[in-house]
Amino acid sequence: MEYEIKQHDKFRYIEEGEGQTLVLLHGLFGALSNFSDLINYFKNHVKVVVPMLPLLEMDILNTSVSGLAKYVNKFIEARGYDNVHLLGNSLGGHVGLVYLLRNEPQVVKSLILTGSSGLFENGMGDSYPKRGDREYIRKKTEYTFYDPAMATEELVDEVFDITNNRLKVIKIIALAKSAIRNNLGEELSRITIPALLIWGKNDNITPPFVAEEFKKLLPNSELHFIDQCGHAPMMEVPGEFNKILLNFLQRLGAVATKVS
């Protein structure tokens, strides 16, 4: 499904639906397709917002988790959102955590993490990225999922195109190194808003023990594992993911209780 990409000052974003605001932050190789099932489902119940994070457009000095967190802060302020429920996958979760810790925004009412970095993550490996080796990129893309068939030709092409651009590769490496350096273990106890952790039991990038650690460190958190699922549950098992998230948002009064 095609969504209208809106523009507000320098910010590009998608905004669908009405009600309390569900902001989605994508990961390093994130695309709108990652969230399509989630957007289609929740736009009937809340306002779904997806900022286009400038992962590969920022100058190299600001190409970091902190740089992206500043961008998210400016975006939410510029749009004047309140009653925000912040959802981040992979690097997007890490960006959301740094945004919360550095700004302590009163408008954010809950946090949803899925396959988030910020404590530990397996990178693409020391040899990554191998430019021009499409089969290598395919295997690394398949590694993200429990079901390797999720790594469609279109998805592999997207990652392959990015890794064949030297400047983009430099920025990907800068972001990955920034994420590894920026361990939040000692700070997470400061995030006291309700937190929902939805994790793939077969996540190779941020394995289940990472989810357990987040659960231990976030004082007001709950953890749900999804079986036969990898690093992107909202993409790989959207039905179960949406059900868990809907229940959480209903309990917070963000969504009416009688919805299908």
Instruction: Please tell me the predicted confidence (pLDDT) of residue 215.
Output: 98
Per residue in 101-142, pLDDT (tens digit) is 999 999 999 999 999 999 987 764 444 455 568 888 888 889
Sign of CA dihedral 196, 190, 120, 50: positive
Residue 9's pLDDT band, with cuts at 50, 70 and 90, is very high
* 229 has pLDDT over 70: yes
Which of these, 51, 66, 62, lies nearest to 101 by C-alpha position?
A: 66
| Contact criterion met (CB below 8 Å) for 196 and 214 | no
Alpha helix stretches (DSSP H) within the chain: 36-42, 65-79, 91-103, 134-142, 153-163, 166-181, 208-217, 233-236, 238-251
Per residue in 162-214, pLDDT (tens digit) is 888 888 888 888 888 898 888 999 999 999 999 999 999 999 999 999 999 99
Instruction: Please tell me the predicted confidence (pLDDT) of residue 132.
Output: 65
Written as one letter, the residue type at 54 is P
Say how far apart CA 218 and CA 235 lie, in whole Å.
25
pLDDT (average), residues 39-55: 95
What domains can you pick out in the chain, each with its CATH number?
5-121+183-252 (3.40.50.1820)
* 1 has pLDDT over 70: no
Q: Which residues of 71-80 are buried (b: 16+ CB within 10 A; e: fewer)?
A: bbbebbeebe
Instruction: Please tell me the predicted confidence (pLDDT) of residue 55.
Output: 86
* Six-digit token string for 211: 């989810």
Instruction: Please tell me the predicted confidence (pLDDT) of residue 167.
Output: 85
Written as one letter, the residue type at 126 is D
Instruction: Please tell me the predicted confidence (pLDDT) of residue 147.
Output: 95
Instruction: Please tell me the predicted confidence (pLDDT) of residue 26.
Output: 92
Which of these, 172, 91, 174, 89, lies nearest to 130 by C-alpha position?
A: 172
